[in-house]
Amino acid sequence: MAYSDSVYSGELIVTWAEVHRDAKLLVRRLLPMAKWTGIVAISRGGLVPAAILAREMEIRVVDTICISTYEDKTRGDVNMLKLPERACADEGRGWLVVDDLVDTGVTMRAARNLLPQAYVATVYAKPSGKPFVDTYVHEVAQSTWIHFPWDTDVQVTAPLARG
């Protein structure tokens, strides 16, 4: 892969295999920490990493917090669409909140306000969002746009020699 734990900038296309590998790296950091009540995935980006974490950590209780802040590449208002009722009742105590990426921290700030006692983990973190997470796997530059496999499509292209 073209990036490591150092900062990567530009556009980054992440494959399914890379997401799986990086989520398992996150599991290795989280396993020794606690016996979690459950996982709260931030929808939609956190759904795939949360599923991998749930499987690898043998966690059966998985819920979602559905927060909308983007429309394509345009940032909008924070819109809470669904709350994780059981985790909210505990203020997140014992819960692991998972997302694919923390960017500016707007979404994560909203999740943290709702679940102040939760432990927050992401696969990728940008500098502005790092203060809102407890752990992450890779840091990328603030200007990097990450293309996740669930947002892209494989298509046939002409050979480069054909221009």
Catalytic residues: 99-100, 103
| CB contact at 8 A, 157 and 23 | no
- The residues that bridge with 71 in the sheet, in sequence order, are 74
| CB contact at 8 A, 65 and 50 | no
